Structure 1
């Protein structure tokens, strides 16, 4: 025969668990009501509003913070030795490999550049150095003209937004092609243990 005190303690425990479950259900209902009230007060909450979709023929471009204003009249920086080599063999590689994707074409350019000896690379480097020297002199002359009496700006046509975007894309492609591509190591993803949702705990007591 069970001890009456044990039965009484068990009954008290059950009653307390029932009270806790009831309190948690009430708290969950209050939380839902509070969330609905907040949604009515702040209907334009950025969390509930999806971001606008960018439309147009151009891909979405995020403005860079602190980007310097480009001077369209300033001398353009000359290509590097690698770009000069790429310009020399790119059309020939296209004829030899019709339909080859641009990324794979750049890979062949990089492979061909790696097969050049030091003397052949020096020829391209000398061309790049001469172009850079001319560029530096042109920059000095341009800065001197800008500090004095600059020519009338109306003589230079103002670029359209489309032309400016295309020129920026060309510069980005030149920067990406200025050096042979480097293989990136794949990052190992760590699996984080799944945590039980608070809603699951509430469901256990309902």
Structure 2
């Protein structure tokens, strides 16, 4: 039923927006007709803009997204209406591992730079991307295996860092 209510509300808002647009166009049409009448009588019409242009009418309404408290909020704002502060990253947190493509890119970049020292960076990256695309799957599997090992290690470090897993126990001699 909530979906039907939302659909009805949206359709109602579209109708209201269309009627407002129609009313604006009718007002503009009435002004043009009045100006035409004054032109026929030889009197200047003061209400028209200098270049004869009219301001653009409103488009159809966009369905507002209401929050729990019934207030609308703008994109990129939190509940208080202020911009959200970017959460600072902890420099001690474990770094996410490089993807298999980045591992390949790091391996090949220096070799290509040595062969082509005058090649611009964007050309270099395009060449590396083409090499990766043309590479047989067996060679890609090696980079994917390296990525999987690094990712498993990172997940273990992340779990320890976040306190979800116990740190390895250290034997204490008495």
- Using the size of structure 2 for normalisation, the TM-score is 0.48
Which structure features the higher share of helix residues?
1
TM-score scaled to structure 1, two decimals? 0.41
Q: Please identify the structure whose Cα radius of gyration is greater.
A: 1
